[in-house]
């Protein structure tokens, strides 16, 4: 490899899907060479970065960084440093032995949405070609899978945002349902602010008065898990007040008469009883939404991470279609994908049922095309496998995975019912993890491989808008870590299943061919074009095609070009409060920390900003519990318990508490969450379960 570039290199942030552009400039500080991070001009962040992006380079030379493979011969032994050959041999052997004993699907791969397109593509190919296993899925299943399933059913395509982020500033009305960009994508708030300066109105649906809600014009504060009823209630009002766009419905949609009949049941008083949102607030919201056709409905995890998340997303899409929004300028429905490459991960094969280009693994024509690119017989490709939580739940059991490779995910902290997942991981015959640090998942492994980081790599990422971007190498990796691409190529060789390339550019060229003709068509995207054009929006079927910043102006991606309404009905959350567990727990993010916290819990600037988690409790509820600001609260659900400090705030509903999931140990909030799954998307119910609360120190039952 050539030495590190002496000049600043412009790349994108390692964290969320906004993928802010940043320049990394080598600089000497007292202790040695470091990279200085500055925001770079780009159409999405316009030079802005949040504190996570700004502090991201701290992790490049972090003392905790893994620099050598770790192995152990028994789980009760400590790790010892090992050479790459021994570690990779152990992994190939672990995977092979499991397959010999229990069949091909007994070896599995669990991936992450932080992986580049090239890594995601190669991991998908590795599972299907090198392992011939159906057992592959990824943490994106826990993220936007409900919205993806809904968009595919309604529009025939799942691209998180069907328009560029900058269009937000041109909308007259924006509704955000279960999305808190003020904390999770701070630089994106500039677009909202610009809209507001033009007089735009913002409506937020969130059980908490978040920073995003505080800045809005209308805040609806429903009981967690009732968004579907709220959307149907708003549609009921739109019909009653003749606010629906009948011409648009006639020209561009199918299924309206049945839906129109179905929402008759959602009269305002009933919806108020279900959701806790007062009728006048609903009336105000629908008037604001229907005041202009330049209205956007944006969905986040708050609406989607439910056992009815895909139906809930469909309910909001129904409302958007009835108001005539999708395909109109500065209007429509979108989901805000979360991880750096959550979008690309689901397009290129990390998902159990997908092949590159958003092709379906169950589709014979898709199998034939991709098998052709891979040089294998379509018959050899496995069938679709099970979803992320189902795979984790069955680890080590008959018919389940016995040897697992985890890449770029920390499921021991981030999966629902996490104590059970950790127990399943420990029951495996063999576990290997590739990571930058010894994550809580890596701590359970037989073999851990150190991986290179974003600033040390080339590749592509697909951001929240569907814009394909370039990740550019700005510095050399330390001696020791290797790229996931190199690991996959080496393992494929050891398994005797063909030659896998580890050069990201070569892999991208293959990805272009594999995606050609698919829904997420990257055939016309080249690294040169990305550099020259500030990214390229898919679909982009040929090099002379401009790419597609905006979808749906002329039609939807369905066979008849029309969008589909779906009749969807409210149902209760999988778990409701009762005498034993009287409150609701919802979970999500805080501003300074990222995901399972592997990275941000090691970043000094972020720990200074937020040294520990807190559970948000309404003062009325806190008084009843006898807990004060900063006091310890014990949270218990049917699955487990956690102990967190209480933060008293009137921003949260008095019947609900909120806690972040970024922490481990006795602050692992996912030890409490409910793994009830959505029947279509297989999304777990992260956003609501029943919880008992007690001031810590008090005995159980003394409530
Ligand atoms: N700081 C930070 N930023 C991040 C991340 C991070 O970990 N930290 N992660 C990235 C990723 S992967 C993702 S997916 C995005 C997520 O971005 P968001 O979806 O915005 O984040 P969340 O905090 O999970 O959930 C959003 C809101 O949903 C609300 N909510 C809870 N239950 C319900 C409900 O039943 N209905 C409604 N309407 N709202 C509800 C919560 O109060 C919360 O304010 O953020 C990305 N950006
Ligand atoms: N209770 C609750 N739980 C949730 C959610 C919630 O809202 N509430 N949200 C869910 C959502 S939306 C998501 S996206 C998941 C995320 O949950 P996780 O999958 O656990 O996400 P991360 O913490 O980002 O894990 C990524 C890991 O990979 C490492 N890593 C980063 N880049 C690379 C790379 O290129 N290669 C390799 N090999 N490793 C790398 C990081 O150090 C880190 O340990 O959590 C889900 N869990
Ligand atoms: S908003 Fe997201 S992409 Fe931008 S700097 Fe922060 S974490 Fe990075
Ligand atoms: Mo996510």
Q: What is the CATH number of the domain that holds 170?
A: 3.40.228.10
> Contact, 235 vs 322, CB < 8 A?
yes
**Confidence at 497, pLDDT banded by 50, 70, 90:** confident
* Inside any domain, residue 703: no
CA distance linking residue 597 with residue 337, whole number of Å: 19
**Confidence at 76, pLDDT banded by 50, 70, 90:** very high
pLDDT of residue 667: 98
Instruction: Among 17, 180, 409, say which to mutate for ligand 2: greatest number of ligand atoms within 8 Å of CB.
Output: 409
Mean pLDDT, the chain, whole residue set: 96
> Contact, 111 vs 407, CB < 8 A?
yes
Based on the structure, what is the number of domains in the chain?
A: 4
**Confidence at 697, pLDDT banded by 50, 70, 90:** low
Instruction: Among 14, 392, 596, say which to mutate for ligand 2: greatest number of ligand atoms within 8 Å of CB.
Output: 596
> Contact, 453 vs 14, CB < 8 A?
yes
Is the same domain home to 171 and 312? Answer: yes
Is the same domain home to 607 and 475? Answer: no
For residue 28, give both structure tokens.
């000497």
CA-to-CA dists, residue 531 to 187, 528, 541, 563, angstroms = 22, 5, 18, 34
Q: 381: which residues sit within 8 A by CB, 6+ positions away?
A: 128, 129, 361, 367, 370, 371
Give yes or no for residue 461 CB within 6 A of ligand 3: no
* Inside any domain, residue 242: yes
Is the same domain home to 188 and 311? Answer: yes
- Number of helical H runs and strand E runs in the chain: 24, 30
Run of H or E including 22? strand 21-29
Run of H or E including 201? strand 201-205
Instruction: Among 186, 188, 340, say which to mutate for ligand 3: greatest number of ligand atoms within 8 Å of CB.
Output: 186
Nearest residue to 348 (alpha-carbon basis) of 221, 461, 180, 480: 461
pLDDT of residue 700: 44
CATH number at residue 633: 2.40.40.20
Say what percent of the chain tops pLDDT 90: 96
Give yes or no for residue 566 CB within 6 A of ligand 1: no
State in Å: Cα 112 to ligand 2 middle: 7
Is the same domain home to 132 and 167? Answer: no
CATH number at residue 512: 3.40.50.740
CA distance linking residue 506 with residue 194, whole number of Å: 41
* Inside any domain, residue 218: yes
Phi, psi of 632 (to 5 degrees): -80, 135
State in Å: Cα 19 to ligand 3 middle: 6
Q: Residue with structure tokens 């006048």?
A: 280
Q: 627: which residues sit within 8 A by CB, 6+ positions away?
A: 617, 633, 646, 695
Q: Is the dihedral of CA 592, 341, 406, 427 positive or negative?
A: positive
CA distance linking residue 209 with residue 653, whole number of Å: 9
CA distance linking residue 109 with residue 139, whole number of Å: 11
Boundary (domain end) residue, out of 305, 335, 365: 335
- Residue 18 CA: which ligand 3 atom is closest? 3
Q: 253: which residues sit within 8 A by CB, 6+ positions away?
A: 321, 562, 563, 564, 565
Boundary (domain end) residue, out of 313, 335, 357: 335
Whose atoms come closest to the Cα of 11: which ligand?
3
Run of H or E including 30? none
Residue 81: other Cβ atoms inside 10 A? 12
State in Å: Cα 389 to ligand 3 middle: 27
Give yes or no for residue 112 CB within 6 A of ligand 2: yes
Is the same domain home to 211 and 351? Answer: no
**Confidence at 540, pLDDT banded by 50, 70, 90:** very high
- Residue 212 CA: which ligand 1 atom is closest? 44
Give yes or no for residue 120 CB within 6 A of ligand 2: no
Is the same domain home to 267 and 402? Answer: no
Question: Which residue's C-alpha comes closest to atom 2 of ligand 3?
Answer: 16
Please list the residues that pair with 585 across neighbouring strands.
657, 689
**Confidence at 30, pLDDT banded by 50, 70, 90:** confident
E-only strand ranges, 492-554: 536-537
CA-to-CA dists, residue 276 to 221, 267, 653, 663, 692, angstroms = 7, 14, 10, 31, 21
Nearest residue to 191 (alpha-carbon basis) of 334, 17, 337, 43: 43
Is the same domain home to 331 and 414? Answer: no
CA distance linking residue 12 with residue 26, whole number of Å: 16
Asked if residue 148 has pLDDT above 70, the reply is yes
pLDDT of residue 499: 87
**Confidence at 304, pLDDT banded by 50, 70, 90:** very high
> Contact, 115 vs 408, CB < 8 A?
yes
- Residue 592 CA: which ligand 1 atom is closest? 1
> Contact, 494 vs 88, CB < 8 A?
yes
Phi, psi of 345 (to 5 degrees): -60, -40
- Residue 208 CA: which ligand 1 atom is closest? 42
* Inside any domain, residue 150: no
**Confidence at 32, pLDDT banded by 50, 70, 90:** confident
Is the same domain home to 228 and 260? Answer: yes
Q: 656: which residues sit within 8 A by CB, 6+ positions away?
A: 207, 223, 224, 583, 584, 585, 586
pLDDT of residue 33: 79
* Inside any domain, residue 549: no
Is the same domain home to 532 and 639? Answer: no
Q: With 0-12 CB in 10 A as exposed, 13-18 as middle and 19+ as buried, what is 72?
A: middle
Q: How far apart are the first and last CA of the chain?
A: 64
* Inside any domain, residue 151: no
Give yes or no for residue 356 CB within 6 A of ligand 3: no
Give yes or no for residue 336 CB within 6 A of ligand 3: no
Q: 219: which residues sit within 8 A by CB, 6+ positions away?
A: 203, 204, 205, 206, 209, 213
> Which residue segment(s) compose the domain that 189 sits in?
157-335
- pLDDT digits 0-9 by tens, 215-230: 999 999 999 999 999 9
Give yes or no for residue 565 CB within 6 A of ligand 2: no
Give yes or no for residue 410 CB within 6 A of ligand 2: yes
Is the same domain home to 22 and 88? Answer: no
> Contact, 373 vs 510, CB < 8 A?
yes
Question: Which residue's C-alpha comes closest to atom 4 of ligand 3?
Answer: 20
Exposed e or buried b per residue across 287-315, where buried means at least 16 C-beta atoms within 10 angstroms of its C-beta: ebbbebbbbbbbbbbbbbbbbbbbbbbbb
CA distance linking residue 577 with residue 689, whole number of Å: 8
- pLDDT digits 0-9 by tens, 593-650: 999 999 999 999 999 999 999 999 999 999 999 999 999 999 999 999 999 999 999 9
For residue 352, give both structure tokens.
């159990």
Lowest mean pLDDT among 18-32, 344-358, 484-498, 539-553: 18-32
Question: Which residue's C-alpha comes closest to atom 28 of ligand 2?
Answer: 408
Whose atoms come closest to the Cα of 661: which ligand?
2
pLDDT of residue 7: 78
Is the same domain home to 365 and 459? Answer: yes
- For the chain, give the number of residues: 703
Over range 249-277, report the average pLDDT. Answer: 98
State in Å: Cα 594 to ligand 4 middle: 10
For residue 357, give both structure tokens.
């280009």
- pLDDT digits 0-9 by tens, 388-419: 999 999 999 999 999 999 999 999 999 999 99
Is the same domain home to 199 and 289? Answer: yes
Determine how β-strand 295-299 pairs with β-strand 332-335.
parallel
For residue 121, give both structure tokens.
């593509």
CA distance linking residue 107 with residue 122, whole number of Å: 16
Boundary (domain end) residue, out of 518, 537, 556: 537
* Inside any domain, residue 235: yes
* Inside any domain, residue 656: yes
Asked if residue 464 has pLDDT above 60, the reply is yes
Give yes or no for residue 138 CB within 6 A of ligand 1: no
Instruction: Among 13, 181, 300, 339, say which to mutate for ligand 3: greatest number of ligand atoms within 8 Å of CB.
Output: 13
């Amino acid at each position: 490899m050539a030495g590190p570039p002496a000049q600043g290199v412009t790349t994108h942030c390692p964290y969320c899907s906004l993928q802010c552009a940043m320049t990394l400039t080598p600089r000497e500080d007292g202790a040695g060479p470091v990279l200085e991070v500055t925001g770079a001009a780009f159409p999405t962040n316009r030079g802005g970065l949040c504190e996570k992006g700004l502090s991201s380079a701290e992790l490049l030379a972090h003392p905790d960084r893994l620099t050598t493979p770790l192995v152990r011969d028994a789980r009760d032994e400590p790790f010892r440093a090992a050479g790459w050959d021994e570690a990779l041999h152990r992994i190939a052997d672990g995977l092979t032995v499991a397959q010999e004993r229990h069949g091909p699907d007994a070896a599995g791969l669990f991936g992450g949405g932080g992986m580049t397109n090239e890594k995601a593509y190669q991991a998908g190919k590795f599972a299907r070609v090198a392992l011939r296993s159906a057992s592959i899925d990824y943490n994106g299943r826990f993220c936007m899978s409900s919205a993806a399933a809904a968009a595919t059913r309604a529009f025939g395509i799942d691209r998180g945002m069907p328009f560029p982020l900058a269009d937000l500033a041109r909308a007259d009305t924006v509704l955000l349902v279960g999305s808190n960009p003020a904390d999770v994508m701070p630089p994106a708030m500039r677009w909202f602010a610009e809209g507001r300066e033009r007089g735009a109105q913002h409506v937020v649906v969130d059980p908490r008065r978040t920073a995003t809600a505080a800045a809005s014009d209308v805040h609806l504060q429903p009981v967690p898990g009732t968004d579907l009823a709220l959307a149907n209630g708003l549609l009921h009002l739109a019909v009653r007040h003749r606010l629906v766009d009948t011409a648009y419905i006639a020209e561009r949609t199918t299924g309206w008469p049945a839906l129109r009949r179905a929402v008759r049941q959602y009269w305002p008083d009933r919806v108020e009883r279900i959701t806790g949102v007062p009728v006048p607030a609903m009336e105000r919201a629908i008037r604001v939404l229907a005041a202009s056709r330049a209205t956007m409905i944006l969905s986040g995890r708050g609406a989607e991470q439910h056992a009815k998340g895909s139906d809930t997303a469909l309910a909001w899409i129904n409302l958007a279609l009835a108001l005539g929004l999708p395909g109109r300028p500065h209007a429509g429905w979108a989901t805000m994908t979360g991880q750096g490459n959550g979008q690309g991960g689901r397009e290129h094969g990390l998902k159990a049922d997908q092949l590159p280009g958003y092709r379906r693994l169950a589709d014979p024509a898709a199998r034939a095309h991709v098998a052709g690119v891979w040089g294998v017989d379509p018959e050899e490709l496995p069938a679709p496998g099970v979803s992320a939580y189902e795979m984790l739940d069955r680890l080590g059991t008959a018919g389940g995975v016995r040897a697992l490779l985890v890449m770029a995910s920390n499921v021991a902290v981030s999966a629902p019912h996490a104590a059970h997942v950790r127990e399943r991981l420990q029951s495996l015959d063999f576990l290997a993890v590739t990571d930058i640090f010894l994550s809580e998942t890596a701590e359970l492994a037989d073999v851990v491989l150190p991986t290179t980081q974003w600033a040390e790599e080339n590749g592509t990422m697909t951001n929240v808008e569907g814009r394909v971007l370039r990740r550019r190498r700005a510095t050399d990796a330390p001696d020791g870590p290797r790229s996931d691409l190199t690991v996959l190529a080496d393992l494929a060789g050891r398994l005797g299943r063909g030659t896998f390339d580890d050069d990201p550019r070569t892999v991208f060229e293959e990805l272009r061919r594999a995606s050609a003709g698919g829904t997420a068509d990257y055939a016309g995207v080249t690294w040169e074009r990305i550099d020259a054009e500030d990214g390229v929006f898919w679909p982009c079927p040929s090099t002379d095609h401009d790419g597609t910043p905006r979808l749906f102006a002329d039609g939807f991606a369905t066979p008849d070009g029309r969008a589909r309404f779906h009749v969807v009905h409210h149902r209760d959350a999988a778990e409701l409060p009762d005498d034993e567990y009287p409150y609701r727990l919802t979970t999500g993010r805080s501003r300074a920390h990222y995901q399972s916290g592997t990275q941000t819990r090691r970043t000094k600037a972020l720990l200074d900003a937020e040294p520990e988690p807190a559970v948000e409790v309404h003062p009325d509820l806190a008084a009843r519990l006898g807990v004060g600001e900063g006091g310890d609260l014990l949270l218990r659900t049917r699955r487990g318990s956690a102990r967190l400090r209480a933060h008293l705030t009137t921003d949260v509903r008095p019947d609900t508490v909120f806690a972040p999931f970024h922490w481990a140990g006795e602050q692992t909030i996912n030890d409490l969450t409910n793994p009830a799954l959505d029947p279509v998307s297989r999304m777990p119910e992260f956003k609501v379960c029943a919880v008992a609360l007690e001031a810590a120190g008090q005995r159980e039952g003394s409530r």
